[in-house]
Chains A and B, each alone.
Chain A
Amino acid sequence: MIKVRLTQEQKKGRMGVLFLAPWLIGFLLLFALPIVESLKYSLSQLELTAEGMSLHFIGLENFKTAFLEHPAYNRILTESIVDMLVNVPLIIFFSLFSATLLNQKFRFRGLARAIFFLPVILASGALLGVEGGDIMQSVMQSANSEQGGNLSLLQSFELERMLIQSGANESVVAYLTDAVNRIYEIISRSGVQILIFLAGLQSISPSLYEAARIEGATGYEAFWKITFPVISPLILTNLIYSIIDAFSSNKMTRLIQETAFKTFDFGLSSAMSWIYFMCISVILFILYMLIARKVFYYD
């Protein structure tokens, strides 16, 4: 009996490897290998010579330089982590909110969804490619930041005074006003997350809601007892995605890029990104441990 089950398991495992193999080969070759290479760079000094490049092993020298000698590294590192910690919960909240709204049936729903996805398209390479010497782009960007800036300044100013007068906790107020100031950034960064939540909401069976309604559940109860548990794995997904996304284009990555391609210090640049990478990993790990246990799976 046990023997048969084992071979079944093994069969299943072999089948799994077969499904996995094509992707895995590509991944190891094109993603894992470069990452390992960059670790090697971070531990050495890279010199460009006539024959190509040569590596000298220098140990942790690059890491020391990043922490102790680089004028801006520590500051930018903390700034980008704090930024992320403020933005990500807001992005998750906003995108879940928008997705539940966009999942309802109303006229022009397709159009409304497209509009909420626009920032992702606008921010993509398709438009960055036509940047060079383009007045439109710069006007557009300044117009964007102006709209965002003006509106939010006005709002947060009013909000802050009101809340502090009403005796609210100051740090809470600071967080809230900061959130309002970031409104444009948050909206424009939640396109993909909205899409992921939408896909999740669409795979919830309507019969669950029907049953809940027949049993007399209110909409509020249905949200917390049905929508929220079913969508919770995707909250984790989006959390991780948002953290990664927040880290994929900020001051830190710009600094890393400049170090690599302007000052041509590839070793230092690699070391910087490895430190950075470790920081994100630790944050992700902690968050994952905290949330993964609360996530609900249908089985």
Chain B
Amino acid sequence: MRFVARLASLRLQSKVNRSVWGDLLLFLFLAVFGAFMALPLVYSINNAFKPLDELFLFPPRFFVRNPTMSNFTDLFHLLSNSWVPFLRYAFNTVFITAVGTIGHVLLASAAAFPLAKHKFRGNKILFSVIVLALMFSPHVTAIPNYMVIGQLGWIDTYSAIIIPAFAFPLGLYLMKQFMEQIPDALMEAAKIDGASEYRIFWTIVMPLVKPAWLTLTILLFQILWGTDGGTMIYSEKLKTLNYALGQIVSGGIARAGAGAAVALLLMSVPILLFVFTQSKIIQTMATSGMKE
């Protein structure tokens, strides 16, 4: 633990005099562990540009020798020949992901606010029910879940995926934990100045927990982006990108090149979103301007 503390403290000293050793240590740590995590990505990038003969080379080579775009052109040929237009799959995924993510973040934040900052009866019980729900294995509830959605008449509609996403317990849990850290005094001050609960929520609470909801956005996006409609959607025209691309890959060995290209395409969107949202996060200073 002492080691952690020392490393953590580098940030503080660094503004005054950044020590060369600290930098080196930091770099080393990031490089070693970063390599662990980045290798699969580097490998799949390389794979996407490998011609077929290199893809099946044994033993497999890590880096590509003769990079080619043929995997991507193959993929586009396959897609333009598909029965349902490719753009339709793409639209389905984008629609489900966007609506599901935005809706979840909004509803979960709104619900987290009273749980974190208002005292009302049943507050604690409700929260423990949420934590309990969080740890229930999704496989067990698969059948009852299907039946509930069936009775609501949502089978084979977007709602079957989107609306359960609104009610995931994860977001509420995270948002509540972050909102709890906002000092009550800030909200009291706003109330004395005549702000309504609604206004407090939008102009004080939400800006302060921006890192939290940006994080939640990434998590939800990442879950929904990977959905393939599962058992809930069976019309071809409502299926998602992930499903369509999975179909291409299941074409077997001849599709290995296109498959590698697919993997890269599917991966790149969440990664880009991640980089984008992370660049938007700045210090929010929940406790600045507080005097006790």
Binding site for B on A (CB under 8 A): 9, 12-13, 15-17, 19-20, 22-24, 26-27, 29-35, 37-38, 41, 93, 96-98, 100-106, 110-122, 124-137, 139-140, 143-144, 147-148, 184, 187-188, 192, 195-196, 198-200, 202-209, 212-213, 218-220, 222-224, 227, 230, 233-234, 236-237, 240-241, 243-244, 247-248, 253, 256-257, 260-261, 266, 269-270, 273, 276-277, 280-281, 284, 297-299
Evaluate contact between B174 and A196: CB separation under 8 angstroms: yes
Q: Which of B34, B250, B256 contacts A115 (CB 8 A)?
A: B34
Evaluate contact between A121 and B271: CB separation under 8 angstroms: yes
Chain B residues touching A, majority SS: helix
Evaluate contact between B225 and A195: CB separation under 8 angstroms: no
> Count of B residues near A, CB < 8 Å?
126
9 pairs of A and B residues whose beta carbons are closest in the complex? A219-B9, A125-B226, A16-B114, A26-B167, A37-B144, A199-B211, A23-B111, A34-B144, A34-B141
Minimal beta-carbon separation of B273 from chain A (angstroms): 10
Q: Which of chain A's residues have a CB closer than 8 A to the CB of B249? A: 130-134
Given contacts A12-B118, A129-B245, 12 further A-B contacts (CB under 8 A): A16-B120, A29-B167, A32-B133, A35-B141, A38-B143, A100-B8, A101-B30, A118-B38, A118-B271, A136-B55, A199-B281, A203-B178
- The answer to the question of B267 belonging to the interface, with a C-beta cut-off of 8 Å to chain A, is yes
Q: Evaluate whether A202 and B281 lie within 8 angstroms (CB atoms) in the complex, with A116-B33, A126-B225, A130-B249 already known.
A: yes
Evaluate contact between A244 and B228: CB separation under 8 angstroms: no
Minimal beta-carbon separation of B252 from chain A (angstroms): 6
Tell me, in angstroms, the Cα distance from A219 to B4 when the chains sit together: 11
Q: Evaluate whether A104 and B266 lie within 8 angstroms (CB atoms) in the complex, with A205-B283, A253-B139 already known.
A: no
Evaluate contact between B6 and A219: CB separation under 8 angstroms: yes
Tell me, in angstroms, the Cα distance from A51 to B126 when the chains sit together: 37
Q: Evaluate whether A203 and B184 lie within 8 angstroms (CB atoms) in the complex, with A101-B26, A136-B256 already known.
A: no
Evaluate contact between A30 and B164: CB separation under 8 angstroms: yes
Listed residue (A19, A116, A144, A212) with the most chain B CB atoms within 10 angstroms of its CB: A19
Tell me, in angstroms, the Cα distance from A27 to B134 when the chains sit together: 11
Evaluate contact between B135 and A243: CB separation under 8 angstroms: yes
Q: Evaluate whether A126 and B226 lie within 8 angstroms (CB atoms) in the complex, with A118-B40, A196-B215, A273-B139 already known.
A: yes
Q: Evaluate whether A133 and B250 lie within 8 angstroms (CB atoms) in the complex, with A29-B148, A260-B142 already known.
A: yes
Q: Evaluate whether A23 and B270 lie within 8 angstroms (CB atoms) in the complex, with A133-B250, A202-B283, A253-B139 already known.
A: no
